Amino acid sequence: METGVLLTQESIEQFLDACQSRGRVEGTLQWYRRGLNRLYQALPEDKFIRQGALERWREELVEMEYTPGTVNMFLSIANSYLDFVGHRECQLASQLKPKSSLQPELTREEYVQLLRTAKALDKERLYLLVKLFASTGLSVQELPNVTVEAVQKGEIVHFPHKVEQRVRIPECLRKELSGYIRRNGYTSGPIFQNKDGGPLNRTYVSIAIRRLCVEARIPEEKGNPRCLKRLYQNTRSDIENNVALLVEQALDRVLEQEQSAIGWEA
């Protein structure tokens, strides 16, 4: 008989309460909630975690271009939950290895140089495309979702793997997109169009960014939407990890002060 466990919002809250009682701080609990909610969205309609479910989820996260560190963290959260509910048979023990150092990684300095070069060449659309990928983590196939209406709301709605996701448009980018919309006279629908009013071809976008790399004297292999998206993910992951570490350090200082004042041997 096939085993598994039903993942519900109630069971997630019970798990988080148990983690909190063991001293987990709010920043850590937020990460746990985020990981389990993403797992919930990725599960089939019956929301059962069965053997092999985490392996399929890992593959989906990799396809969505999450870094190995982030994928491993989400899997660790899911494994902790499964241990809590007594279903270790559904855990996934194997970890993703870090990506090869040979794989091109765009630095933030190189990204800024791309923007500077696009601006110097008066290529506003290309400037905005580069900034969009690196500021939101969107993929090139999601460009049709960047509409006049989305810019007005400050939020892009898309459906990777049939799961609704909402991506906030940073205010600085939203203002620039609004100016681009106004200057081009767009009133509705996608804002990145070809001459015939249709969506931009994926190959065209990649070629345009690669040529911009040449102009900016940046290695050509870094000139693609995937590298820009990875830059966004790495930057966000680094910031979130630093914040979580600061929270843990602040908690330790509070506990140490209390220990000095009221500890058993104080």
In CATH, what number is assigned to the domain containing residue 12?
Answer: 1.10.150.130
Provide the 8-state DSSP code for 167: E
Q: What is the mean pLDDT of residues 8-33?
A: 90
Q: Is the pLDDT of residue 163 over 70?
A: no
Q: What is the mean pLDDT of residues 104-113?
A: 92
- Please check whether residues 135 and 167 belong to one and the same domain: yes
The confidence score (pLDDT) of residue 13 equals 94
pLDDT band at 25 (very low <50, low <70, confident <90, very high): confident
Rounded CA gap, 177 and 124, in Å?
10
The confidence score (pLDDT) of residue 103 equals 61
CB 172 within 8 A of CB 132: no
What letter represents residue 156's amino acid? I
**Which has more confidence, 246 or 129?**
129
Mean confidence (pLDDT) of the chain: 88
The confidence score (pLDDT) of residue 259 equals 84
- Please check whether residues 150 and 223 belong to one and the same domain: yes
- CATH number of the domain at 209, please: 1.10.443.10
**Which has more confidence, 247 or 81?**
81
Q: Is the pLDDT of residue 99 over 80?
A: no
Q: Is the pLDDT of residue 78 over 90?
A: yes
pLDDT band at 26 (very low <50, low <70, confident <90, very high): confident
The confidence score (pLDDT) of residue 119 equals 96
- Please check whether residues 84 and 38 belong to one and the same domain: yes
Q: Is the pLDDT of residue 1 over 50?
A: no
- Please check whether residues 89 and 120 belong to one and the same domain: no
- Please check whether residues 117 and 226 belong to one and the same domain: yes
Q: Is the pLDDT of residue 117 over 90?
A: yes
- Please check whether residues 116 and 80 belong to one and the same domain: no
CB 62 within 8 A of CB 75: no
The confidence score (pLDDT) of residue 101 equals 44
Q: Quickly count: other Cβ atoms within 10 Å of residue 213's Cβ.
A: 21
- Please check whether residues 93 and 29 belong to one and the same domain: yes
User: Which of 48, 72, 99 marks a domain boundary?
Assistant: 99
Q: Is the pLDDT of residue 2 over 60?
A: no
**Which has more confidence, 202 or 65?**
202
The H-or-E segment that residue 21 falls in is helix 9-21
Highest mean pLDDT: which range of 47-56, 82-91, 116-125, 251-260: 116-125
Q: What is the mean pLDDT of residues 189-197?
A: 88
Provide the domain limits for residue 139: 108-231
Q: What is the mean pLDDT of residues 182-210?
A: 88
Total domains, the chain: 2
Q: Quick one: tokens of 83?
A: 């241990």
Least confident of 106-120, 122-136, 159-173: 159-173
**What are the angstrom distances between the C-alpha of 217 and each of 111, 123, 187?**
12, 17, 37
Rounded CA gap, 50 and 5, in Å?
7
Best CA proximity match to 211, nearest among 151, 85, 112, 121: 121
Q: Is the pLDDT of residue 64 over 80?
A: no
Provide the 8-state DSSP code for 123: -
